[in-house]
Amino acid sequence: MASEKIDIILTTDRTMMSNHHGKEFLGFMATGPPIGMPENLWMWIAAPKMKTDEKGRPWQAPYALRKLEALLLNHGYNAAVIDPDHVRKYLMDAKILMLSHHDYFALCPPSSEWWIITKKEPVNVRSFKKFMEGLPLDEAKKKGLKIIAGGPSAWQWFYKLDLWSRWMIDTVVDGEGERITLDLVRKVFDGEPLPKYVFVGPRDVPTIDEIPLIKYASINGLIEIMRGCPRGCRFCSVTLRSLRHIPLEKIEKEIMVNVEQGVKNGILHSEDVLLYGANGIKLNPDALIKLHQVARKHLKEIAWSHASLAAITNAEKEYKLISKIMEIVKSNGVQKYLGVEVGLETGSLRLAKKIMPAKSLPYPAESWPQVVEEAFMIMHENNIIPAATIILGLPDEKPEDLVQTIELIDRLRPYRSLIVPMFFVPMGILKNESWFTDVKITSEHVEVMRRCLWHSIYWAEEIINKFYLNKPTSAPLKILLRTFIKYAEWKGKTIERKLGLTPIQAQATPTIRNSPPTS
């Protein structure tokens, strides 16, 4: 039994409570099943254990948990983020167990894709189930423990009602938690009943003033710079949130929290980093330059969580802003590249206009493929390495839409990047549409997937050796990742032979364009 009592425990499973060796992208391996190696090795690559103090408080923790922890501490509650390996010793004395996760049951992409293709359960859901089953929940509930689950994948509990009941979850919170959390906690302490489900709509989200500053380090120094997105893509739930820009002085304070606690690198987090300080989708170069100057002042290395391809193209064509930002990023003589996730989604003009008409702004939706290609060129020339997503099985998708996507992927071959196909999950405005699992996988789907596979394999070796894992201390990770890449290459060739397909990897080495495509 713990000598210290904690009234409110905030936690998650190991795949989330890890800094992934300081390489955020390695965490995506937790969305797949262990392939080509034992599960313990797979977990070591994707989610090694987090360093903790003697009380089980992790050195770094997911940003969302850090926000709620700060909120509760600010209001006088005895709350703490606790590593999953240490939760048991506090559970019997706790009043509330708060859970958060990006993908509780592996229903989000890319977990859902791995599950469908391999028919094997991804390690993130295995890890979460193992964590929950290992807790003495029956005994703790008898002592009055309340369990509240939230996070970006809170909606998944509706697809797992048996586990909702089995683990005796009292409340599921779907949406931003800062404002509603205080109300729920008050109810627990006052002995009032809790609602089974709470949806936080646009009118209920916290204001900038209600969003607290973190007090302890976040995973890989991730810091939020804005919430929401104005582009309104129909498949995305983020567009349902109101748009708020975090003041630069608050961003700097949170960066300093991480740096002072030993996290020297940082990730600027937004659904579109280049829209920081923008008026709608009209870029604000001055705000972006100041943001990166502040980040460069304090951080050894900088990354972006997400950026839109249209903003990348617009930033460089209109303001030469990508070049200017990368000059700032590289100015310390240490950082040589910047990583980011981008949404390619489709190469189809018809689907682009129908489901994401504002994603190409300030360019017309009809120019989407050209916008994509130009953004990839700009990133390649500036050592920005994107992990791009493509959505398969979009509502009203037709074979010709997939053919256009295939053609676009082929044109992107010269540009250093990873391209990941993801199966459609009904979210955002399209939340009532059918899942991809209800759609028949066609030869065109297969062709998109293998185009993505060989594109990513083509560039993976250079990215790992030259940029991502180029330090001597990274040698064991590099060996394991090379082993996985070789396995993926062998598996891809095996499947191609079975299907009688012409090998894509045998194509001639692509050449980079001498001039950008017109858009």
Is residue 312 scored above 80 in pLDDT? yes
217-468 folds as pyruvate-formate lyase- activating enzyme (3.80.30)
Name the residue with tokens 């699992």: 437
More confident residue, 50 or 478: 50
> Which pLDDT does position 437 carry in this prediction?
57
CATH superfamily of 8-204: Cobalamin-binding domain (3.40.50.280)
**269 class by beta-carbon count within 10 Å (0-12 exposed, 13-18 middle, 19+ buried):** buried
> Which pLDDT does position 424 carry in this prediction?
78
Report the share of the chain in percent with pLDDT over 70: 90
Question: Which range is least confidently modeled, 180-184, 238-242, 445-449?
Answer: 238-242
Is residue 244 scored above 90 in pLDDT? no
Rounded distance between C-alpha atoms, residue 481 and residue 460, angstroms: 9
Report the share of the chain in percent with pLDDT over 90: 63
Q: Give tens-digit pLDDT for 34-43.
A: 887 889 998 9
Token digits of residue 107: 């229903």
Is residue 206 scored above 60 in pLDDT? yes
Is residue 510 scored above 70 in pLDDT? no
Rounded distance between C-alpha atoms, residue 252 and residue 489, angstroms: 43
> Which pLDDT does position 128 carry in this prediction?
96
> Which pLDDT does position 275 carry in this prediction?
95
**342 class by beta-carbon count within 10 Å (0-12 exposed, 13-18 middle, 19+ buried):** buried
- Confidence category of residue 243, pLDDT binned at 50, 70, 90: confident
Is residue 234 scored above 60 in pLDDT? no
> Which pLDDT does position 508 carry in this prediction?
42
Indicate the average pLDDT of the chain: 88
By three-state DSSP, how is residue 41 classified?
helix
Is residue 427 scored above 70 in pLDDT? no
> Which pLDDT does position 235 carry in this prediction?
54
Domain 8-204 and domain 217-468, same fold? Reply is: no
Rounded distance between C-alpha atoms, residue 454 and residue 116, angstroms: 20
Give the E-state strand segments of 82-206 in sequence order. Answer: 96-100, 146-150, 171-174, 197-199
Question: Which range is least confidently modeled, 127-136, 392-401, 505-514?
Answer: 505-514
Measured over the CA atoms of residue 346, residue 350, residue 351 and residue 354, the dihedral's sign is positive
User: Are 154 and 177 spatial neighbours (Cβ–Cβ below 8 Å)?
Assistant: no
- Confidence category of residue 20, pLDDT binned at 50, 70, 90: very high
> Which pLDDT does position 426 carry in this prediction?
56
Rounded distance between C-alpha atoms, residue 256 and residue 221, angstroms: 10
Q: Give tens-digit pLDDT for 51-64.
A: 999 999 999 999 99
- Reference 233, options 349, 354, 136, 119; nearest CA is 354
Q: Give tens-digit pLDDT for 153-172.
A: 999 999 999 999 999 999 99
Angle at 490 between CA 489 and CA 491, to 5 degrees: 90
More confident residue, 92 or 240: 92
> Which pLDDT does position 374 carry in this prediction?
97
Question: Which range is least confidently modeled, 253-267, 334-348, 402-416, 475-489?
Answer: 475-489
> How far from the centroid of its chain's Cα atoms is residue 485's Cα?
22
More confident residue, 328 or 519: 328
Report domain extents, the chain: 8-204, 217-468
More confident residue, 365 or 358: 365
Rounded distance between C-alpha atoms, residue 307 and residue 305, angstroms: 7
